[in-house]
Structure 1
Amino acid sequence: MSVLEQVKFDDQGLIPAIAQDYKTSEILMFAWMNKEALSLTIEKQQAVYYSRSRKKLWFKGEESGHTQIIKEIYSDCDQDVILLKIEQVGGIACHTGRASCFFQKLDNNSWVTTTKVIKDPKDIYG
């Protein structure tokens, strides 16, 4: 049985994928993969996701240049979540221009922004 047949995709053919910095262990982002995205990620050693809103493959960094180089790939104990340990090219994983998508902290029943923008998204995406 191939590794792609061993992971458990949901009823829409998707599996959650977490991108984690391989040096610092910081969680950088969360996205979805379908079988083709996971296969391409393994083959190319660069992160490829599936965009549910655009209904197509999303090669991380295809517009921004902020690709994710795969260092290690893990599956959880149920094989229904993928963890990518990655090197984040350019140090920006989030489309908001921040290092991580997880920059809003719940504090006193309000969301507080905890990190600064590294690069203005207009300068990244035009």
Structure 2
Amino acid sequence: MQEPTDEQNQPAWLNDIQWTNDGLVPAIAQDAETGDILMMAWMNRESLTLTVQEGQAVYWSRSRGKLWRKGESSGHQQVLKDIRLDCDADVILLKVEQKGGIACHTGRRSCFYRSLRDGEWVSTDPVLKEPDSIYGKH
């Protein structure tokens, strides 16, 4: 059975989301097993639809102005296990299996590796793999 679509031939469930004025919604990636918050990124209608269709996280890169398949250059893909919408319908939660254990471009497991301690941001999580070895030298 095919899911219902709207007049633009997009899945109707996309209309339940409160998109920003520029057509985006924040998406939080969470490890489905441990509950660890891995990262936050932006999604548009196309990236969210592709994420559901492909079963892997696809985001919208605001800096590059294009779709970004998580892991396309690093190999550290996020396999979709569940997708949730918050009570205000303005934040997506992706429960994922993080391939390779690294979600952050800094080579850490999570992008949330800095903690506020005595008025300063302190790195609390180690680099698991040097970014140059993941992405090559820039």
TM-score range, shorter-chain basis? Answer: over 0.9
Q: Number of matched residues?
A: 126
CA displacement at 1:6 relative to structure 2: 1.2
Post-superposition Cα deviations, 1:106-125, rounded to whole Å, max 9, x if no partner, equal: 00001110011000000000
Structure 2 residue corresponding to 1:4, chosen from 1, 4, 14: 14
Q: CA RMSD in A?
A: 0.7
Distance across 2 between alignment mates of 1:56 and 1:8:
21
- 1:85 aligned partner: 95
- 1:4 counterpart SS class: helix
- 2:9 aligned partner: none
CA displacement at 1:40 relative to structure 2: 0.2
Distance across 2 between alignment mates of 1:41 and 1:112:
33
TM-score by length of 1: 0.98
Structure 1 residue corresponding to 2:122, chosen from 107, 112, 125: 112
Matches within 5 A, 1:17-96: 17-96=27-106
Distance across 1 between alignment mates of 2:18 and 2:45:
10
CA displacement at 1:85 relative to structure 2: 0.3
Distance across 2 between alignment mates of 1:102 and 1:36:
26
CA displacement at 1:8 relative to structure 2: 1.4
TM-score by length of 2: 0.90
Distance across 1 between alignment mates of 2:109 and 2:40:
13
**Percent same amino acid among aligned pairs?**
59
Q: Which runs of 5+ in 2 are unaligned?
A: 1-5, 7-11
- 1:12 counterpart SS class: coil
Q: Which runs of 5+ in 1 are unaligned?
A: none
- 2:59 counterpart SS class: strand
Higher-Rg member (1/2)? 2
CA displacement at 1:4 relative to structure 2: 1.0
